[in-house]
A and B are shown apart, each in its own frame.
Chain A
């Protein structure tokens, strides 16, 4: 490029720069001091994120589990359709036990990683490679007195199985909400009967601390496909009633006023045991993919809900051999897993089903495949740059010359 005849005014230069990928902007930090500080301003970060949102610069992370080592890793897939979603790099997270965190988000390009068995958590911006380790919650675990056994029970296990990550726009704060399951047993008994107790913990990035909040009546029971946060509210699948009286429900938590609610799922949407109802976020709304539990030719209904009204967006007819959905990628492409543990993509525009050449079936633990998507963003989280102790990136031979 040549030296220009004139200079563009600062505001227009920033307008151009806000359309750049995060990697380019990171490199251009050393162009001059003014640029470096401009890239850190909330205004620039917001413009850049808005551009990524407009252009749907979605990155895809396929989480899978190595069947030999039982270690989880993430494969970043190319987001170019013509490249057939080849794997560009594999990311390992040795910060977590067995490299296996649960992934929540993304929210503004940030992901939240939680260890389901230990009080270990992190917030991660994979675009800027910033990694923020959360402090332990240090919340007191309550004692459990069993009136039947007339003794205090011993705390045997603490699990963190359900959580969500989102944004409180009123306080400009990122929050993590985590459900804690406490298992108590009578240590005197040889085969003790477990007693459960629950707590809910809420983390705020601004205060960098956890607090306990009152536990709702319903606890989450299902996992969501990908992100379970949208527009200020987190969602989990829950249920009531026994097998014959079963009713699927949605538990919601408002990040702003920190209150729980219950939303019903109407009969006409579908219900277990005839159907699986998987919650997900679709095009900025809460939705569900509903598909029959029985049968070989699975057809998928996508429902979306807004203010209590459920509308069926579309139906994907009988895809033979497909076992379950993983979630949506770009442009409405639906990722699926089939009976042979292969990952497939259903192209919404051409109605074609394509197999991805990413060798998922080779020595992979089939039930542990999940898809996570995030937009590029510059959002800061007061963390540190990735180090190999926490995050290991391995580009593959398919990694092209990326700017």
Chain B
């Protein structure tokens, strides 16, 4: 049949053996090098990759080889969508794919997976980033404050503190979100006005003061209770999503 039907055997870290077409396997520069410089019939050990991950990677390589060779009738847009679905996996699998793509030297897969993680983290706050990458914060409180102040513009979600923003929210619990001053946000939710006392203190806050709009608009707003009421993180996320200084 020709060289396209040559098979290469790969053994993973968990002792699974995969037999794949040479054209698919040599998408990995590492496998290509080992194959071309070693004995063509022997099994290639990919000892840093597990069976599950290698299986996924081989799917990727097969799809891309077939599309490039014209074996599959797939447009660039469709391949792009296929790639987008390919990376819809949990974070651990994604990190595993990155490590494997790096070790196997599959450049396009490494680019794809790294870009996916980049897209996932680009809107995050520094605290969340530290969690994702298991990073210890080695700044002192003052030093971190100084760096934040220097880069203050990057923390303004809408690029301008103090601008009036009125948004119609789809969420059941919220109806409007309005900013009034630099440090306070007033959220009108159903019949309640939820007032943020101080945005800078909000970072770790899981609950907020709730002010109830009285029936009679001329009476002053009453604080619902002295105790603070817990609000789900959904609200805080939504709030951050709109406008705040972090």
Contacts and interface: CB of A to CB of B under 8 A. Distances in A.
Interface of A: 1-9, 12-13, 15-17, 19-21, 23-24, 26-36, 89, 129, 385-386, 393-395, 399, 401-403
Interface in B151-169: 151, 153-155, 157-160, 163
Contact of A12 (B92, B114, B123): B114
Contacts of A3: 131-132, 134
Contact of B122 (A30, A31, A32, A403): A403
A31 B137 contact: yes
Given A30-B144, A393-B160, A395-B163, A8 B95 contact: yes
Interface residues of B, number: 45
A31 B115 CA distance: 20
A35 to B, nearest CB: 8
A35 B133 CA distance: 12
Nearest to B242: A401
A30 B148 contact: yes
Contacts of B128: 1
B1 interface: no
Given A20-B122, A24-B121, A401-B158, A4 B110 contact: no
Q: Of A21, A32, A89, A394, which is in contact with the most chain B CB atoms at under 10 Å from its CB? A: A32
B183 interface: no
B117 interface: yes
A104 B48 CA distance: 50
A327 B244 CA distance: 37
Contacts of A403: 122-123
Contacts of A401: 123, 157-158, 241-242
Enumerate the 4 nearest inter-chain pairs by beta-carbon distance, A residue then B residue, closest first. Answer: A403-B123, A26-B154, A19-B118, A27-B154
Interface in B101-153: 102, 110, 114-115, 117-118, 120-126, 128-139, 144, 147-148, 150-151, 153
Given A1-B128, A8-B95, A13 B122 contact: no
Given A1-B120, A16-B117, 8 more contacts: A1-B128, A5-B95, A13-B133, A16-B121, A19-B118, A24-B123, A399-B159, A401-B158
Contact of A20 (B118, B133, B153, B163): B118
